Structure 1
Amino acid sequence: MRSHQLVQGALRFASLSILSNHQVTRVLLILVLLTLAVLGISLSVGDYPVPPLDIVRAVLGLKTVDPESPFVVVTLRLPRVLISWLVGLGLGLAGVILQGLTRNPLADPGIIGVNAGAALAAVTLIVLFPAAPSFALPLAAFGGAVVVALLIYLLAGTGEKSPLRLVLVGVALAAIAGAFTSFMLTFGKINNVSRALVWLAGSVSGKSWEQVWSLLPWLVVFVPLALWQARELNTLQLGDAIALGLGSSVALRRAGLLLVSVALAGACVATAGTIGFVGLMAPHLARQLVGPMHESLMPVAALMGGLLVAGADLLGRTLFTPTELPCGILTAALGAPYFLYLLYQSRRRKT
């Protein structure tokens, strides 16, 4: 019986791996071009419009037609645009890992409570220790995300256990973390609370190069680690018994992947606040374009996540000008109906 399972798993693995490299390349190229277009428009539009040629010259350090363009582009807008894209990239990749790790299409750092744990730790730091250095915020958020992830792992488990149970445990822990976050906001000093509330809305407004350099090391370390373990995610998709038969150290690999996902989500939440549903939408949209194999899925989902957050930030700046909407509000407005749609689709498949 075990041999039969191994053969079936190997055949399934082989069938899933048949994917056109040309298709993946085309999708990646289109996403890169769309991303460059969105980032370029974000750098151009605003209260002080900048011509496209001046944007290129300012970024390259060349002389611009308008002497104010370098300050507007490089100092004010470029850090915000980069952070929006990097945060989306990290959240999209974290969502892919969680969905593959749990074999649950509804898994997402925001839905299952990882973001709420990161938010609680970050708000605690902002309210109680407002003078803490900027690099401490990602560390605190990472610690809060790890605690919630471990609780989910212990209470609901992964792998063969019910995916619905994982979601329910995550929602419960998110509610608990949200209650403690509200407690911190209720008794904190008004200036610190105001800063925390703006952060909780999920906004990249007012970000500087300091936040870029705080976020970048986390992505430089954990994005390659995530891509390197794509093949292990494919193996875990076959089930614990088959993965063990194929020689995979299931417990060790699962713990490593969970650590990578939590680190990416925690760093992104610490930088930009709770930008929800990106880790849910990006993997599903990517899966429709390139299929389920993680070697292709992970880079496409990462680019899709970056495009979603950068696009949401652009729309938040321009739709109701001069009022700005935090990008987290727009991703939630789009992601919540999409989540309900996925629930409906899942129910239809079961019936």
Structure 2
Amino acid sequence: MRNTSYARVSTVLVIGTVIVFTAAYFSLTSGTFDMSVMDLIKTLLRIDPQPDHNLVVFDFRLPRIVLGALVGFSLGIAGAVIQGVTRNGLADPGILGINAGAGMAVVLFMFLFQGSITMTGWLGVMMMPMFGVVGGMAATAAIYLFARQDGTLDPQRLILVGIAIASGFGAVTMYVSLKMNPNDFEMAVVWLAGSLHSANWKFVITMLPWILLLPLIIWLRAHVLDLFQLSEESVKGLGVSVEREKNIFLLCSVGLVSASVAVSGSIGFVGLIAPHMARQLVGLKHKNIIPVSGVAGMAIVLIGDFIGKTIFAPAELAVGIVVSIIGVPYFVYLLIRTRK
């Protein structure tokens, strides 16, 4: 049984990785400046490098692909953790207001430091995730404050509170952005739509510490997420410090979401769709769900970004909008299914 499960998970991860690399390949070779396979190979291997090919691949397309993969991986894992902690299959960082809280904090950072800090400079790039974490923590604190009933998080209240929190933070974000000068406002609006347009290697480097540390912490404690599917009294009876473990998981999720929002804006529904896909493919064990959710999130973001920048070319549709077009019907489907 264990070998069968391991083989199935390995197969799913291999197929998911192939899909990710396929999406990356098409993103690298397609666009306003098309490249052949040989051009791409020569450029990546530095064989007879051409300045225009180097510029397109290493300065524009490759950092965008790598950043999209990291963001999708983070959001997929964060969604799986939040659904596991809350025992609610409709929970998602965007729906719960964590995206909105992180987004509000980053827009506030743009407003407070407009003109004094370059957003793509090292200082701006390093400070934005910190502001995002503070905003995400504010949203999480509000969830704890209003969604708890008799000392526990109520799954039904969670969705309602999350929608209210997202609306409140969204209103503050819009108010602050309207106070910006026209150039900063335009940048904030594009960023809030969930865009990888401004991707660069600095953003990628900023994401790496979060990606290398937090998913590992989550995966090593994945067995606790399995226990959380029992009643809270049963989990406490097994000797698990429920509140401590919840805090660890939520802090890791907030960190992943906030870092993602800081570099790409708010890309919703990835944390909702990816864990559902993972559970359908590899079952209910979180040791398997977490990596598969990460790979599924990578595929969703990369495919969404490819669709957004090619179908409407020369115009470009933000990846957050493309994913939302897919995610909203899927969310409605899940709502209908849970009522049956």
User: Which of the five TM-score ranges fits, normalised by the shorter chain?
Assistant: over 0.9
How far 1:243 sits from its partner (Å)? 1.5
Aligned length: 332
Determine the structure 2 residue equivalent to 1:10: none
- 5+ residue gaps, structure 1: 1-14
Determine the structure 1 residue equivalent to 2:25: 40
Give the secondary structure class of the aligned counterpart of 2:89.
coil
CA distance in 2, matches of 1:71, 1:344: 48
Q: Aligned to 1:77, which of 43, 46, 61?
A: 61
CA distance in 2, matches of 1:218, 1:39: 22
The AA in structure 2 aligned to 1:29 is: V
How far 1:161 sits from its partner (Å)? 4.2
Determine the structure 2 residue equivalent to 1:115: 99
TM-score normalised by L of structure 2: 0.94
How far 1:18 sits from its partner (Å)? 9.4
Does the CA contact (< 8 Å) of 1:127 and 1:196 recur in 2?
Answer: no
Q: Aligned to 2:286, which of 275, 294, 309?
A: 294
The AA in structure 1 aligned to 2:20 is: T
Change (3 A) 1:74 1:338: same
Does the CA contact (< 8 Å) of 1:95 and 1:283 recur in 2?
Answer: yes
How far 1:283 sits from its partner (Å)? 0.4
Determine the structure 1 residue equivalent to 2:323: 331
Does the CA contact (< 8 Å) of 2:211 and 2:256 recur in 1?
Answer: yes
Does the CA contact (< 8 Å) of 1:118 and 1:144 recur in 2?
Answer: yes
Matches of residues 1-351 of structure 1 in structure 2 within 5 Å? Answer: 20-64=5-49, 66-130=50-114, 131-132=116-117, 133-157=124-148, 161-348=153-340
CA distance in 2, matches of 1:238, 1:18: 26
CA distance in 2, matches of 1:80, 1:25: 27
Give the secondary structure class of the aligned counterpart of 1:108.
coil
Determine the structure 1 residue equivalent to 2:120: none
How far 1:183 sits from its partner (Å)? 1.0
The AA in structure 1 aligned to 2:10 is: T
CA distance in 2, matches of 1:223, 1:53: 36
Does the CA contact (< 8 Å) of 1:40 and 1:52 recur in 2?
Answer: no
| 1:274-332 residue CA offsets vs partner (Å, 9 max, x unmatched) | 11100000000111111111010000000000100000000001101111100000011
| 1:216-270 residue CA offsets vs partner (Å, 9 max, x unmatched) | 2211121211211211111111222221222211111110000000000011011
Identical-pair percentage? 39
- 5+ residue gaps, structure 2: 118-123
CA distance in 1, matches of 2:318, 2:153: 37
Does the CA contact (< 8 Å) of 1:160 and 1:239 recur in 2?
Answer: no
| 1:13-62 residue CA offsets vs partner (Å, 9 max, x unmatched) | xx9x8961111111000000111111011011111112223323323333
CA distance in 2, matches of 1:103, 1:142: 23
CA distance in 2, matches of 1:230, 1:62: 44
Does the CA contact (< 8 Å) of 1:114 and 1:149 recur in 2?
Answer: yes
CA distance in 1, matches of 2:60, 2:154: 47
The AA in structure 1 aligned to 2:288 is: S
The AA in structure 1 aligned to 2:65 is: V
Does the CA contact (< 8 Å) of 2:144 and 2:153 recur in 1?
Answer: no
CA distance in 2, matches of 1:139, 1:160: 29
Does the CA contact (< 8 Å) of 1:128 and 1:188 recur in 2?
Answer: no
| 1:142-177 residue CA offsets vs partner (Å, 9 max, x unmatched) | 110001101101211389543110110111111111
Does the CA contact (< 8 Å) of 1:313 and 1:326 recur in 2?
Answer: yes
TM-score normalised by L of structure 1: 0.91
How far 1:71 sits from its partner (Å)? 2.1
The AA in structure 1 aligned to 2:136 is: A
Does the CA contact (< 8 Å) of 2:43 and 2:54 recur in 1?
Answer: yes
CA distance in 2, matches of 1:339, 1:329: 15
CA distance in 2, matches of 1:71, 1:185: 32
The AA in structure 2 aligned to 1:70 is: N
Change (3 A) 1:271 1:67: closer
